[in-house]
Amino acid sequence: MSPRQSTSPPPEPVATGLDRPLLGLPGIAARRAEIYAAAGIETRRALLYHLPSRFRRRPDPLPLGASDEGKAALVGVVVSTSLRRRGPRSTVTLRMRDALGDGDEVEFRALLFNRAYLAKSLKKGTRLWVAGTLERDDTDLARLVVSDYEVLADDALGPSASLVPIYKLPAGIPPRVHRKVVAAVLAEADVDDWRHEPDGSPATDADDDPLPLDAVFRAIHLAESLDDARAARDRLARDEAFALSLDAAFARAQRPTIPECVLDIDEATHARIIARLPYTPTAAQSRVLDELRADVLSARPMHRLLQGDVGSGKTMVALYGLLAAVECNRQAALMAPTEILAEQHVVGLRALLARAYGDKAPRVALITGRGKPSFRRAERAAVADGSAPLAVGTHGLQSAPVEFRDLAVTVIDEQHRFGVAQRGRFRRKGEHSHLLVMTATPIPRTLALTAYGELDVSILDELPPGRVPRETHFVPAGKQPALWRRLRAAVERGERGYVVCPSIGEFGDVPAAPAVAHDDDEEQGPDVSVAATLLRVREALGNDVRVEPVHGRMPPDERDATLDAFRAGDVDVLVATIVVEVGLDVPEATFCVLPAPTRFGLATLHQIRGRVGRGTLPGTCYLLGPVKKGPGRERIDALCASEDGFLLAEKDLELRGPGELLGTRQSGLPRFFILDPVADVALLAAARREAALRIEGMAKSDVDALRERAFPLRDVTADQLMAGG
């Protein structure tokens, strides 16, 4: 019988250097190592990449006689220690002798509240640097209420660093222990630097010689000046930006070359399509149209993100892409997030195509979940056999029953409402199709370069001529009766408007409520649903003003009838949810009112505001109070101060953070650890260019390894962290 072969797995490789666990470092036994691990900090390398959130400046110590009352720092020697407990509270009192005086035995008391554990360690003869609030009394010793302290060597005059790093730490990790552990790691381990060779020379083709990584961590964790810490932080932010750019650069490099995807848009065809557009393109539109033409002439399928502020003319750019496919006898698809917007696109496209092509206008099929089964089957059949060169719809365009004869161009409108995965599903509908995704919600450039990193980015940064500027006003509770009188007068002049609510509410027996919120409603506030607000608006404007509701729970036919009546002027005011946020284009709409503006994000507020002032008359947006100070009020102030959607997007990112701004549906959204998504746009753009150069010829496994070396993947659990000290 042959001996049984061992089936035990091979031993794990022994971790070395910064990849070793924390266990064994000064002050780190098993329990503290477990606490760090629960927060995602398991190795010494992860510890170094857990950077301070801020710094506190330590004051230099002065002799007791030269220290004024108030904030002070002293150096003294402990003469005696006492502990007093009162229930859960405690006071450690240190009787201390001033160690910086001129030889006189000047004493003072130092009080440390609720730190009873120090009574055993701060014994007689201990030399301390203490800082806090100094109080003097003619009949007693001066006393210092201690906010910070440090045990000193016998010959030390004060702390070695005037800047104290403040970390967000797991509960159970004292700040002093953490700082001591970090210092120990920096003292014992070499920091391998992916940007430098072992001899210290640069290992990359970058234009400059970056600060070595070991100097970076020392400058941050053992900071001697804020300027040094900022320079070190920029090196790490650059590494993070590079790491975030690698996957997108690799995806862009892997786009296949497919000759069949080329659309032959020569100069004559380009001019013919431009002539069919409803308006003469602006300079910004012309620039983007040239980019689109270059894309569709390429053998690599287009992957482009088109950003444009409200009213910047994105639809006309999209129309160029659709007509490019039609002119080449192929098909194009336009996907919208809602049935209302899809149907409006169909109405608009049919009118434009009738003017451009006359009796030979190409057919536009509508693919949604609405309509009779026979209608839906007929529309799908027209797309499948090619008799409908254009298809407009919602998510149903991506469903299995919908087949295209020859899909060449896909446009996704309001991209911010779709998940990342949905961008790729059209590849199954048209293997050689070009993709243009659009959003009227300006995305901060940092997020555009990361969340949409695999796409080329075009920006419409110019409004068409003739657009009348809009105004935005915050209206406190006391001025709202006058506002409703002013809006009634506007309706009498033939103007129309919206009142946009955050929820639908319950229709039926809704109790009447006052037309205006009062100051004492600030905590609870009135019901701001469509159902309750409808009654208040009707009461405020009078019975002869035609006010109707619109929301997502209405039967589609009833909702469409109401919207058609509003467009035709048979309804004066819509009380609606954000179903009117995009796609509703009524030139006579001049005002919108938001009774609960803090319930919306800044980008949504900007979108709603964009529904008014789309004709020759100016538009005004009214944000109703009361609103307490805080992020909500900051959003309101920002909206009142600017109509620049890109500036507001940066502000929204600053207030809300990238995850909330783009939504949880945006899978693949990066977490920023060091990179500042508002301030580091230029740095990220440069990193994107560097990444594109570095990954040429690399396999995916090599790209993954480079990302890990450039900026180790981190899994810090934010909810395990708390403000340190």
The domain that contains 510 carries what CATH number? 3.40.50.300
Q: Does the pLDDT of residue 415 top 80, yes or no?
A: no
- Cα(644)–Cα(639) distance, rounded to whole angstroms? 9
Kindly indicate the confidence band of residue 7, based on its pLDDT and cuts at 50, 70 and 90: low
Q: Does the pLDDT of residue 611 top 70, yes or no?
A: yes
CA distances, 145 to each of 119, 161, 330 (Å): 16, 22, 80
Range with the poorest average pLDDT among 66-75, 587-596, 662-671:
662-671
Q: What is the pLDDT of residue 383?
A: 94
- The predicted-structure confidence for 451-493, as pLDDT tens digits, reads as follows 666 778 888 877 777 667 789 999 999 999 999 999 999 999 9
- Cα(719)–Cα(399) distance, rounded to whole angstroms? 39
Print the SS3 string covering 505-531: CCCCCCCCCCCCCCHHHCCCCCCCEHH
Backbone angles phi, psi at 651, to 5 degrees: -65, -40
Q: What is the pLDDT of residue 597?
A: 94
Q: What is the CATH number of the domain that holds 93?
A: 2.40.50.140
Q: Does the pLDDT of residue 184 top 70, yes or no?
A: yes
Residue 315 lies in a domain: yes
Do 79 and 124 fall into the same domain? yes
Residue 222 lies in a domain: no
* Number of structural domains in the chain: 3
The pair of three-digit structure tokens given for residue 47, joined into one six-digit string: 């510890």
- The predicted-structure confidence for 322-375, as pLDDT tens digits, reads as follows 999 999 999 999 998 888 788 888 988 998 899 889 888 999 999 987 778 888
Do 452 and 563 fall into the same domain? no
Residue 669 lies in a domain: no
Residue 298 lies in a domain: yes
> Which positions ≥6 away from 15 have C-beta within 8 Å?
21, 43
- The predicted-structure confidence for 109-133, as pLDDT tens digits, reads as follows 999 999 898 998 899 999 999 999 9
Residue 533 burial by Cβ neighbours in a 10 Å radius (0-12, 13-18, 19+): buried
Range with the poorest average pLDDT among 485-489, 542-546, 654-658, 685-689:
654-658
Average pLDDT, stretch 613-640?
89
- Cα(128)–Cα(75) distance, rounded to whole angstroms? 6
CB 443 within 8 A of CB 669: no
Amino acid letter, 232: A
Q: Is 611 helix (H, G, I), strand (E, B) or coil?
A: coil
Q: What is the pLDDT of residue 401?
A: 84
Do 490 and 408 fall into the same domain? no
Q: Does the pLDDT of residue 511 top 90, yes or no?
A: no
Do 419 and 494 fall into the same domain? no
Average pLDDT, the chain: 83
Kindly indicate the confidence band of residue 101, based on its pLDDT and cuts at 50, 70 and 90: confident
Do 518 and 583 fall into the same domain? yes
- Spatial CA neighbour of 429 closest among 332, 524, 360: 332
Do 340 and 455 fall into the same domain? yes
Do 422 and 529 fall into the same domain? no
Average pLDDT, stretch 607-629?
89
Kindly indicate the confidence band of residue 684, based on its pLDDT and cuts at 50, 70 and 90: confident
CB 459 within 8 A of CB 307: yes
pTM of the model: 0.66
Kindly indicate the confidence band of residue 295, based on its pLDDT and cuts at 50, 70 and 90: very high
Q: Does the pLDDT of residue 661 top 50, yes or no?
A: no
Average pLDDT, stretch 170-184?
89
Do 448 and 555 fall into the same domain? no
The pair of three-digit structure tokens given for residue 117, joined into one six-digit string: 């554990």
- Cα(621)–Cα(605) distance, rounded to whole angstroms? 9
Q: Which of the listed residues 642, 672, 700 is the one where a domain comes to its end?
A: 642
- Spatial CA neighbour of 342 closest among 402, 388, 391, 381: 391
Residue 35 lies in a domain: no
- The predicted-structure confidence for 568-602, as pLDDT tens digits, reads as follows 999 999 999 988 766 677 889 999 999 999 998 88
Exposure string of 582-596, with b = 16+ CB inside 10 Å and e = fewer, is: bbbebebbbbbbbbb
Strand partners, 83: 92
Q: What is the share, in percent, of the chain residues with pLDDT greater than 70?
A: 84
Question: What is the residue range of 144's domain?
Answer: 70-152
Give residue 125's region: left, alpha or beta (phi > 0; psi -120 to 50): left
Q: What is the pLDDT of residue 89?
A: 93
Q: What is the pLDDT of residue 670?
A: 59
Residue 1 lies in a domain: no
E strand or H helix at 386, and its extent? none
Kindly list the strands in the beta sheet with 547-550, ordered across the sheet, starting from the edge strand earlier in the chain: 471-475, 620-624, 589-594, 496-500, 573-576, 547-550
Kindly indicate the confidence band of residue 218, based on its pLDDT and cuts at 50, 70 and 90: very high
- Cα(424)–Cα(543) distance, rounded to whole angstroms? 51
The pair of three-digit structure tokens given for residue 189, joined into one six-digit string: 């381990």
- The predicted-structure confidence for 512-542, as pLDDT tens digits, reads as follows 333 333 333 334 467 899 999 999 999 999 9
Q: Does the pLDDT of residue 678 top 70, yes or no?
A: no
Residue 207 lies in a domain: no
CB 75 within 8 A of CB 152: yes
Q: Which long-range contacts (CB under 8 A, 24 or more apart) does 383-386 make?
A: 383/331, 386/331
Average pLDDT, stretch 169-174?
88
**What is the C-alpha end-to-end distance of the chain, expressed in Å?**
67
Do 482 and 454 fall into the same domain? no
Other Cβ atoms within 10 Å of 214 Cβ, number: 16
Kindly indicate the confidence band of residue 668, based on its pLDDT and cuts at 50, 70 and 90: very low
Q: What is the share, in percent, of the chain residues with pLDDT greater than 90?
A: 41
Q: What is the pLDDT of residue 702?
A: 93
Q: What is the pLDDT of residue 428?
A: 60
Do 532 and 431 fall into the same domain? no
Peptide bond into 212 cis (omega under 30): no
- Spatial CA neighbour of 580 closest among 524, 498, 660: 498
Can you tell me which residue has the tokens 């995009």? 582
Cα angle vertex 413, ends 410, 419, to 5°?
A: 90
Residue 583 lies in a domain: yes
Q: Which of the listed residues 422, 437, 460 is the one where a domain comes to its end?
A: 460
Q: Which of the listed residues 407, 431, 460 is the one where a domain comes to its end?
A: 460
- Cα(332)–Cα(412) distance, rounded to whole angstroms? 11
Do 290 and 424 fall into the same domain? yes
Q: What is the pLDDT of residue 449?
A: 65
Do 421 and 486 fall into the same domain? no
